[in-house]
Amino acid sequence: MAEPEELLLDADERMDGAVQALRRELNGVRTGRAHPSLVETLPVDYYGAITPLRQLGTINAPEPRMLTIQVWDRGAVKAIEKAIQSSELGLNPAIDGQLIRLPFPPLTEQRRRDLVKLVHHKAEEARVAVRNVRRHAHDELRKAEREGAVSQDDLKRHEEELQKLTDQHIATIDAEGKKKETELLEV
């Protein structure tokens, strides 16, 4: 049986993990600007192995509405093109030898609203993950109390600390979601 302090530390780390995962996912949600993080984790079928795009070439943003990918292996160009076209980004790559250009058309109002909904959905998934961590830690604390390892007073104190951790992480998730929503809605 883990000590209550260890349980709280573990819960904090796992909640941080949910927040970090949300940040990574939100980086992949397209705003009006082109940013390398939008495509760098795109899975590419490179000679039978699923490989992140960033491992196949150099990704740059020479203009606010343009990304370029300098592909290192000429044989990977078609696979990268296919991965970009089959992604949810809605981009049409222009190929020039080993250089792939990705022009970003301006977002329509409807597309912005759809992306905001997607951001809300991802934020809700992160909140659920944080609450699941809280529930698991809470169950472990109750179990420790039943086994006599923790007094009722200590249980109350640890439950309050756990709730504070949960509230902090949910507030961070809400702030990340709001920040991304603001980016999406600025024209």
Model confidence over 135-187: pLDDT tens digits? 999 999 999 889 988 889 999 999 999 999 999 999 999 999 999 998 888 75
Same domain (yes/no): 75, 95:
yes
pLDDT at position 49, please? 92
* Burial environment of residue 158 by CB neighbours within 10 A (0 to 12, 13 to 18, 19 or more): buried
Choose the final residue of a domain: 83, 103, 123: 103
Expressed as residue numbers, the domain containing 174 is: 4-27+108-185
In whole angstroms, give the CA distance from residue 8 to residue 178: 27
Q: How many domains is the chain partitioned into structurally?
A: 2
* Three-state secondary structure readout of 40-82: CCCEEEECCEEEEHHHCEEEEEEECCEEEEEECCHHHHHHHHH
Q: What is the CATH number of the domain that holds 129?
A: 1.10.132.20
pLDDT of residue 32 exceeding 70? no
Same domain (yes/no): 112, 179:
yes
pLDDT at position 40, please? 85
Which segments of the chain does DSSP mark as H helices, in order?
4-27, 77-86, 109-146, 152-185
Q: What is the CATH number of the domain that holds 85?
A: 3.30.1360.40
pLDDT at position 87, please? 83
Neighbours of 64 (CB within 10 A): 10
Same domain (yes/no): 97, 112:
no
Choose the final residue of a domain: 81, 103, 125: 103
Neighbours of 138 (CB within 10 A): 18
Same domain (yes/no): 137, 95:
no
pLDDT at position 39, please? 86
Same domain (yes/no): 87, 140:
no
Share of the chain above pLDDT 70, in %: 97
Same domain (yes/no): 76, 136:
no
- 88 — alpha (psi -120 to 50), left (phi > 0) or beta? alpha
Is residue 162 within 8 A of residue 14, CB to CB? The reply is no
Same domain (yes/no): 119, 168:
yes
Same domain (yes/no): 155, 88:
no
Same domain (yes/no): 13, 45:
no
| Of 170, 88, 185, 163, nearest in space to 124 by CA | 170
Is residue 104 within 8 A of residue 65, CB to CB? The reply is yes
The per-residue pLDDT of the chain, averaged, comes to 89
pTM for the structure as a whole: 0.70
Same domain (yes/no): 13, 66:
no
Copy the structure tokens of residue 171: 């507030």
SS3 163: helix
